[in-house]
Structure 1
Amino acid sequence: MMSEDTPRRPPRVSRRRILAAAGAAGAAGLTGCARVMGGEDRQVNIAGSSTVFPIAEAVASDYTQQNPTVNVAISKTGSGGGFSNFFCPGMTDLNNASRPIAEEEQAQCADNGVEPIEFVVGTDALTVVVNPEADWVDCVTVDELRQIWMADGAQQWSDVRDDWPDEPFDLFGAATVSGTFDYFKETVIGEEGTHRNDYSATEKDRTIVRGVQGSKYAMGYFGFAYYSENPNSIKALAIDNGDGCVEPSLQNAKEGRYQPLSRPLFTYVAKESLTDPAVRDFVRFYLEKAATDLVSEVGYVPITEDQLQENLDKLDAAIAEVDG
């Protein structure tokens, strides 16, 4: 199993997918590649969300221990970066996403002969964090978050509440290619608003962790898994959506109490890739693991048995179609 922030080499894809993606993939240097369908040279290629990455990484580790002849290569590119640069051009088999695929991404996939199949693989409690020394704040309202993160919004803590410090924000958040950015913008700022751009933007969530750890006046946001790795060195804020302060937790996300920042997590599979036995076997393994404690161990809520069955039914139907 190989995990990385950016793909180091083009994956093996079928000739049909190369031809379909020739225009979009040309800039990436994809020429002359062909997936090896048998033997020892078998690979599953995944890009996309850094939020979903811990699930995929844990699943891939378990899978490759049982299937040592299959290499699973995972890249953290952001949900949108994965869709537009790798999955829809036909370069990867799966794309992890922390929000649903957008219409323009679906169109790009269709133009390249890629048919995405959506599977839910968990639930996240998107978490807003501050430095542990920020003893003036333990809970924020959604409107206060909007004031902090909207363009031309609050510039310092005291702009939001008079009793907060007269100090400027030190903000760390998701990059614009991230599904977390898209979800946060839509849910907190609103579709008509604009996310501020004067903050440290990154697709590397642990960089956000380090930034918040290093500044008393910092604030950041990311998937719950990255908070659960660092509960003693950063502080998670409760969110008041109008019914009182609710802390981010797996239980609160599971019960639907942590609103509006609970969200489903996805992986998308290229239907064409299911012609490869290695890909279809890995996808089934991934979906089955998504219903186990493996997901909670990395910091998210596992899918239910009903969701698992829905996923497996969808997978079986797609396999039947490509075999048909």
Structure 2
Amino acid sequence: MFKHSKLVSALAVAGVALFGAQAAQAQIVKIDGSSTVYPITEAVAEEFQKAKKNAIKVTVGISGTGGGFKKFCRDETDLSNASRPITKKEMEDCKAAGVEYIEMPVAFDALTVVINPKNTFLKEATVAELKALWEPAAQGKVMKWNQVNPAWPDAPVKLFGAGADSGTFEYFTEAIVGKAKSSRGDYTASEDDNVLVQGVSRDVNAIGYFGYAYYAENMNKLKALPIVPPKGGAAVAPSEQAVIKGTYQPLSRPIFVYVKAKSLQKPEVKEFVEFYMKNAAKLTKEVKYVPLPDNAYTGNLEHVKKNKIGTVFGGQNEVGITIEELMKREAKM
């Protein structure tokens, strides 16, 4: 009898524990995607979890924009971080899986080309010079700095850049080479920007690229390379002011989160999205990206309220769009 009652109470405790675990599991917001957007979403997730006293868990992965959209369109995540707009192929994949989404621009990034601080010869670069370094034709051939510009030294070039699943890879190749995903393959690639930071910081002959937040976090280890705008004129270094004025071209770009419409039916996701938009400007600035005007965030919440499904980009990445142009486009959605 004693044994039986102990067993019953043990099972009851296990049942409560299991029910508790299931309830806890139900309160998870799942996010994946861009490593560029990660610092903002992670900062929001931390603040949100604190505010909710960890009653809701938010997981944030970094499988790259493309990797994130694959999971999103397979219905595995609630939100997708993206450093470029959703593509036509991804739109089709989501449609086939019955996944509808709301596009939310959250900040502007100054995609940053970085060099080692001990590099004394590189003061600026043109788009043409960067293209000569990164285009597919350079693979196995352009191996030294002086092959790009005879004024540069006869020293080996070490290249570090985003992996193929990265939105940063797609944006950079389109802006610099002229075609998305068109790049030499003989470089150190990673979806984890911290790997690229380490690579460039350890080699005097290195050059790489990633989102501005990773440069801002590592200014003591890296030097940002000013870029001569495609239309000519003085080289412009990446900065908040240059992004706001639209002078840091062609590497200024909007970055996004995409929210699954179906997930918004879950109170924890809806709450997280509202918290995100109310705190995005402050936290975006904290992690060193450029916040959008306040009406961008209230507009995003309005789109949630009215269930405005889809994208204003039509499946195309666009190089050179300014904050002002983005805001006009979003207002028409």
- On whether the aligned pair clears a TM of 0.5, the verdict is yes
TM, length-normalised to structure 1: 0.84
Q: Which SS does the other structure have where 1:129 is aligned?
A: strand
Deviations 1:135-171 (A, max 9, x none): 0012101111111111122321001111211112100
Matched, 1:274 2:259: no
Give the distance between the partners of 1:213 and 1:192, measured in 2 at CA: 27
Measure, in 2, the Cα distance between the counterparts of 1:227 and 1:193.
Answer: 23
Q: Distance in 1 between matches of 2:26 and 2:182?
A: 46
The aligned counterpart of 1:115 is 100
Q: Do the aligned partners of 1:284 and 1:315 also contact (CA within 8 Å) in 2?
A: no
Q: Secondary structure at the match of 1:191?
A: coil
1:190 and 1:143 mapped to 2: Cα distance?
Answer: 10
Describe the SS at the equivalent of 2:102.
strand
The answer on 1:99 being equivalent to 2:89 is no
Residue 67 of structure 2 is matched in structure 1 by 81
- CA distance in 2: counterparts of 1:193 and 1:66, whole angstroms: 40
Match of 1:303 in 2: 292
- Structure number having the greater helix percentage: 2
Q: Which amino acid aligns with 1:43?
A: I
Structure 1 window deviating more from structure 2 (257-266 vs 160-169): it is: 160-169
Q: TM-score, normalised by structure 2?
A: 0.82
Distance 1:275 1:317 in 2: 13
Q: How does 1:243-262 map to 2 (within 5 A)?
A: 243-262=233-252
Q: 2:303 matched to 1:314?
A: yes
CA shift digits 1:271-323 (9 cap, x unpaired): 0101100001101111121222x111101011111212211110111299xxx
Letter in 1 for 2:183: H
Q: Which amino acid aligns with 2:57?
A: N
Q: Give 3-state SS (helix, strand or coil) of 1:291's partner.
A: helix
Q: Mark the runs of 5 or more structure 2 residues left unpaired by the alignment.
A: 1-20, 310-333
In structure 1, the residue matched to 2:163 is: 175
- Quick one: distance in 2 between partners of 1:173 and 1:309? 35
* Partners of 2:166 and 2:42 in 1: CA distance: 18
Aligned to 1:9: none
Maintained 8 Å contact 2:169/2:181? no
Point out where structure 1 has 5 or more consecutive residues left out of the alignment: 1-35
Do the aligned residues in 1 keep the contact of 2:277 with 2:298 (CA within 8 Å)?
no
Matched residues in 2 for 1:108 and 1:41: separation?
A: 26
* Superposition pairs of residues 127-142 of structure 1, within 5 angstroms: 127-142=112-127
Q: Pairwise mapping of residues 225-236 of structure 1 onto structure 2 (< 5 A)?
A: 225-236=213-224
CA contact (8 A) 2:174 2:182 kept: no
Preserved CA contact (<8 Å) 2:100 2:262: yes
- Whether the aligned pair in 2 keeps the contact of 1:79 and 1:96 (CA below 8 Å) is yes
Offset of residue 40 of structure 1: 7.4
1:44 corresponds to:
29
Greater Cα offset, 218-227 or 144-153 = 144-153
Describe the shift of the 1:108–1:319 C-alpha distance in structure 2 as closer, same or farther (beyond 3 A). closer
Deviation at 1:249, TM superposition (A): 0.8
User: Cα offset for 1:38?
Assistant: 6.2
CA RMSD of aligned residues (A): 1.8
Between the aligned partners of 1:188 and 1:82, the Cα distance in structure 2 is 24
For 1:289, the equivalent position in structure 2 comes to 279
What one-letter code is carried by the residue in structure 2 that aligns with 1:216?
V
- 1:248 maps to amino acid: P
Match for 1:170: what amino acid? K
Whole-angstrom distance in 1 between the partners of 2:99 and 2:162: 27
Give the distance between the partners of 2:191 and 2:179, measured in 1 at CA. Answer: 22
Q: How many residues align?
A: 283
Write the letter of the residue equivalent to 2:105.
V
The question of 1:265 aligning with 2:250 is answered no
Where in structure 2 are the equivalents of 1:40-79 lying within 5 Å?
41-67=26-52, 68-79=54-65
The match for 1:156 among 138, 141, 144 is 144
Q: 2: distance between equivalents of 1:40 and 1:190?
A: 45
Verify the 8 A CA contact 1:40 1:69 in the aligned structure 2: no
1:143 aligned partner = 128
C-alpha separation between the residues in 1 aligned to 2:297 and 2:46? 20
CA, structure 1 residues 205+316, in 2 after alignment: closer, same or farther (shift >3 Å)?
A: same
Q: CA deviation at 1:262?
A: 0.4
- Are 1:219 and 2:204 counterparts? no
In structure 2, relative to structure 1, the CA distance for the partners of 1:199 and 1:105 (3 Å cut) is same
Deviation of the 1:254 alpha carbon: 1.7
**How far, CA to CA, are the matches of 2:171 and 2:22 in structure 1?**
37
Note the C-alpha offset of 1:243: 2.1
Find the aligned partners of 1:151 and 1:41 in 2 and give their Cα distance. Answer: 47
Larger radius of gyration: 2
